Amino acid sequence: MLTRNESSSCRNTANAVGGHWDVANEDDSVVGDSSGSSALGRRTIPVQAQHSGWNDVGFHGSTAIRTPNIDDLAYSGIMLNNYYVNPICTPSRSSLLTGKYPIHTGMEHSVILETEPWGLGLDEILLPEYLAPLGYTRHIVGKWHLGFFQKEYTPTYRGFQTHFGYWSGKHDYWSHFSEKYISNNFFMTGLDMRLNMEPAHNTTGRYTTDLLTEAATLIIQHHKVDESPLFLYLSHLAVHSANKEQPLQAPKEVVDQFSHIKDEKRRTYAAMVAKLDESVGRVVEALAQKNMLNNTILIFSTDNGGAAAGFNYNAGSNWPLRGVKNTRWEGGVKGVGFIWSPLLKVHGVRSDKMMHIVDWLPTLLSAAGVKRSDLPPDLDGISMWESFLEEPNSDHSPRSEMLISHDPLYGVSVYRYGYWKILNGTTYDGWWDGWYGPAEQGTSQDTSAVENEIRINNVWISKSKTNEVRDAAADGSPRIISQVEEALQGAGLWSYSYSDSIPFKIDCGQKVLPRMGTPCNPLHGRPCLFHIKEDPCEYHNLADFYPNIVDSLWKRMMTIAATAVPARNQPHDPEANPAKRCYLWSTWRSPEVAFS
């Protein structure tokens, strides 16, 4: 049997980081003229975190995990308090890059597993492909997760000029091997780290978050500012679980900084978040050192809600929201997100504008000077750029409705119109339909550590304000001066007072009131109705009180759902086994047999 190191042909190693990497001028036949409009010179850098829970960042009130770099960008930008993502990885990435609901690309159901021969359709136009004729240099660093069974589905064939990162959904943070379990006692394993199409063996032993950060900063350092604008998509592994044998991983010296967190898993998770925060700081520093901040747009977004209370072997927190990743409750789909740019006229704004992850594509293209009339008419995304510029303090949004999810294979449909949300069906037989607090405060599955609780619908929730926030400067702890603050101060772009950095806290309101709704049990086949502004934590099902609203929302939701295309999912293919390819997760099908 061929082992990992027996064949020299298995060691065709890309010198991915730490050596020479010409990232600025990869060959590209479609780059156009970038002269003329000032909008065409804008740098756009989306930073995507995985599984970032609502209560895992300081600007949402996390008391145990400090995220000074992320917070300082959020507080000096526009914080998105009414922003939604898809409930799981692959659908959200397809939405971000196509501007379409997953039901319109066949990407709604589940995620692409390593051995499954399918991906985002080749007929779809991706964001970097829209940017190419504008002269943008286009890079992706980190996770892809939109298919790799044949090379045409990989990033450098989809509009990106370079890719450093991995193709699947996750890998080990140190070895970069990804495991796919076929049964309880058999799994396939292989390296999943590449520079473009070449395996990056020389990265083994280095922490993934650091590697991706270094790659992103190298791209910025090598970028030729006078020749082209930059689009850099930094798609982190953090804070996704690794392989299940050791799902939570971080450098020991960082874990030790969180000794105040007693739960070991939550402590390691906090260190993973800290490394993500450090990455954001280093990227902003690199932009400042290159004098690129003045015309840059930075966006930060999770891909789905946090994996809390052991879901996916993880330790995130969506408190006080209901649900976890891959549920359609607010904890699974209400996204952590913000936009920062000196081009914004107002900073430090908490926006309640309704926004969906599909909106980023038209928003960023609008910022680059592209008119909506120049984009395909079948996009679901709506540009928020003009609204961010002209009405940042207003709740008024160009978007009034959104299809949060429609997955007939799961039997789940969720839709919002204004602040009304209708939910039909659930996942995991309702097992993850509760409220899950941070581990240091107890969870709905571990109630021993939480005092003063009540039981509703067989779910424990706290009556006390367990998510009360302490101001980092006022509670006697040291004032943290972040990398972001130093970089923005140096660039003359520091735009808020630290004393004004008040975290956004969700007020769940009264949890139990007479005649205020009926229990919501989606398993019984009846849709539930919530008013998200008045009841953000989804305690009160109002379906019986407003049957006309239920009927109206149901009809509209089904009208949109009727436009769905068939799911693209394909079953496991044993030919994908990386043992056949030097223990590398690689392309394994040619186009002519792609869907045979």
Residues 6+ apart with CB under 8 A from 57: 65, 67, 70, 71, 74, 273, 336
**Is residue 358 within 8 Å of residue 78, measured between CB atoms?**
no
151's tokens: 């090379």
Q: Kind and range of the H or E element at 314?
A: none
C-alpha to C-alpha distance for 387 and 96, rounded to whole angstroms: 19
**Is residue 483 within 8 Å of residue 67, measured between CB atoms?**
no
C-alpha to C-alpha distance for 511 and 344, rounded to whole angstroms: 38
Length of the chain in terms of residues written: 596
Q: How far is CA 175 from the centre of its chain?
A: 23
C-alpha to C-alpha distance for 522 and 14, rounded to whole angstroms: 50
Can the peptide bond before residue 320 be classed as cis, meaning omega within 30 degrees of 0?
Answer: yes
Can the peptide bond before residue 141 be classed as cis, meaning omega within 30 degrees of 0?
Answer: no
204's tokens: 């083994």
State the catalytic residue, choosing from 89, 528, 537, 582. Answer: 89
**Is residue 132 within 8 Å of residue 139, measured between CB atoms?**
no
**Is residue 43 within 8 Å of residue 229, measured between CB atoms?**
yes
State the catalytic residue, choosing from 145, 163, 201, 223. Answer: 145
DSSP string, 390-441: H-TT----S--EEEEEEETTTTEEEEEETTEEEEE--SGGGTT-SB---GGG
C-alpha to C-alpha distance for 577 and 5, rounded to whole angstroms: 17
State the greatest distance between any 2 C-alpha atoms of the chain, in Å, as a whole number: 73
For the question of residue 537 being annotated catalytic, the response is no
For the question of residue 89 being annotated catalytic, the response is yes
The residues annotated as belonging to the active site are 89, 145
